[in-house]
Amino acid sequence: MLSENIKKLVQYGISSGLMPECERVYATNLLLECFHEDEYTDVECDMSNIVLEEVLKDLLDEAVQRGIIEDSIVYRDLFDTKLMNCLTPRPAEVQRVFKEKYEESPQEATNYFYGLSRASDYIRTYRVKKDLKWTVDTDYGTLDVTINLSKPEKDPKAIAAAKNAPQSAYPKCLLCVENEGYAGRANHPARENHRIIPIRINDSDWGFQYSPYVYYNEHCIVFNGQHTPMKIEKATFVKLFDFIKLFPHYFLGSNADLPIVGGSILSHDHFQGGHYTFAMEKAPIIDTFSVKGYEDVTCGIVKWPLSVIRLQCKDEKRIIDLADHILGAWRGYTDEAAFVFAETDGEPHNTITPIARKRGDLFELDLALRNNITTEEHPLGVYHPHEKLHHIKKENIGLIEVMGLAVLPSRLKGELEQLADAIVSGKNLRKDEVLAKHADWVDEFKGNYTITKDNVEEILQKEVGIVFCKVLEDAGVFKCSEEGLEAFRRFVSTL
């Protein structure tokens, strides 16, 4: 059985383009070594429909049976990554082919690299397919919603092992270049089949890779070659546009650099991009303005729940200069009437979430104004999802959400399924320990529908999308109202 599955896995590597036919024996021997096996039989087997997930499962079961690994999702993931590395080209080969493809076109290069990242199982496509995805029409356009199911839940034994494992500072974080080829451990994922493309932006060394969880098409990560903290500054805008000039078919954006309104990894300077059009990119300009000295840059306020300024120009250097001017003005801006404070007790609050792209022959930069002030009423943030919405989304609103994609916690899959049954059967939600937090929300919308078992799922998805829209409105510094727009204009008039 081991020989058969090794043969299938090697054939998968050849058929998927990960490796050439001439490496068949070499890869077979590498895989035998992983199982501490000296013998191999070239058995006859059906090679016409090889399903990677099934072959890996059989090989992992074999590893458990032989006592090589524990039967836990964490250790299985560590081991199957080791197996896939036996098929995956070395970094130099990946970089060589990428460079060749890039000479044809940037898109050919990214097509190759994205395909390799999927074929090598670095992006576990069979898990990503389990993510729930839908769209919801709103006043701001069509928002995307996903419930992320591709990150596996750790079992208690693995959690305990991770807690008891010796603390390691290598790699320093999940974004460091030292992850490439790293075998992993109980508290750090394996990255043996991970490959990075080195690029130069702002005259410094950066890495280009894909996210293993691909929340949207060709979801990529661009990270600093040095473990250095996130910082929004003029150089940020230079880096974004340097990347866009290298890959004009991609967008690239940055999380903000302050807690609450920033991303999950503020300790390592990085950006996220990809080949996808979010609702924010499609959103129209509702008010135009010009800034003295930058009349050649088209400026506008975007119709979006967050407070977004859009800059357009054929010369990206002019956008960079103006963006730096706006950033400086926003960092120091206070408008008590709009509850905007640049700082309190010496703690800065204002920052920006920037997103760069190419639109035709124009460079374009969206600047989402952010503020992380907290109050007794809103201890997690005034411009953060308010408590009423926490039953759906409590986490920070980072770059991906800012652009119009809700990344919701995996718990919601089960909760929404239970909720659908409970609503149809007329169950008292307030007496259910899990569903009680959704009761007020359901009371608000259920009178608007005739709910049946056939439409309850669609209704719940629509209402979740409406909650996400409210989440984005909460994150907006200047609200989408006449009063809010007037406050937005007050800031713009200071530029």
User: What mean pLDDT value characterizes the chain?
Assistant: 94
Q: What is the pLDDT of residue 169?
A: 84
E strands of 217-326, at which residues?
220-224, 251-253, 270-274, 285-289, 298-302, 308-313
CA dist 356 and 288 (Å) reads: 19
Helix (H, G, I), strand (E, B) or coil at 171: coil
Give tens-digit pLDDT for 274-295.
999 999 999 999 999 999 999 9
Contact 448, 476 (CB under 8 A): no
Residue 165 has a pLDDT of 62
Q: pLDDT tens digits, residue range 134-159?
A: 999 999 999 999 998 887 655 555 55
* Entry pTM: 0.93
- φ and ψ of 70, to 5 deg: -80, 155
Q: Is 368 in contact with 400 (CB distance < 8 Å)?
A: no
Q: In percent, how much of the chain has pLDDT > 70?
A: 97
Backbone φ, ψ for residue 133 (5° rounding): -140, 140
pLDDT of residue 168: 76
The set of residues, in sequence order, having a beta carbon less than 8 Å from that of 361 and lying 6+ positions away, is 314
Residues with Cβ within 8 Å of 372's Cβ and at least 6 positions away in sequence, in order, are 258, 259, 260, 261, 349, 351, 381, 383, 384
Indicate the DSSP class of residue 283.
P
Region 112-128: what's the mean pLDDT? Answer: 97
**427-439 average pLDDT score:** 95
Among the listed residues 459, 432, 433, 434, the one whose alpha carbon sits nearest the alpha carbon of residue 445: 459
Please tell me the predicted confidence (pLDDT) of residue 164.
Answer: 61
Backbone angles phi, psi at 425, to 5 degrees: -85, -5
